[in-house]
Amino acid sequence: QVQLVESGGGLVQAGGSLRLSCAASGTTLNYYTIGWFRQAPGKEREGVSSISRDDGMTHYAESVKGRFTISRDNAKNTVYLQMNILQPEDTAVYYCAALLGPTLTFIEELYDYWGQGTQVTVSS
């Protein structure tokens, strides 16, 4: 059974940093493109970043470009999202998801597995 578990969320002041982790069990993340999504209160879930399984290509939402960095450590079966210069509008539940294939996308229906999410709260 494939499970994704996010960690690293918390409360941080504006301008601060957090690093989220997405750890997998029951499978090897090498086979998957991994995406990070977030859902703020009262808003729809949106794509934040994704990293391809094959060549490590990355993709970012415009709102986080230059502030967030996605990376993967296949040896640890973990994907990370380094979030810097956090702003109150980054407050959301952050989810990681796994897509079996190389496609970089924010289309949620293409993702096969989802984690339960981790809360990130940025105070002003």
10-residue mean pLDDT series, the chain (124 residues): 96 98 94 97 97 92 98 94 98 97 94 98 97
| pLDDT (0 to 100) of residue 22 | 98
| pLDDT (0 to 100) of residue 56 | 87
Q: What are phi and psi of 115, to 5 degrees?
A: -85, 180
What CA–CA distances, in Å, run from 95 to 21, 24, 55?
A: 10, 13, 22
Contact 98, 115 (CB under 8 A): no
Q: What are phi and psi of 110, to 5 degrees?
A: -85, -10
| pLDDT (0 to 100) of residue 13 | 98
| pLDDT (0 to 100) of residue 1 | 85
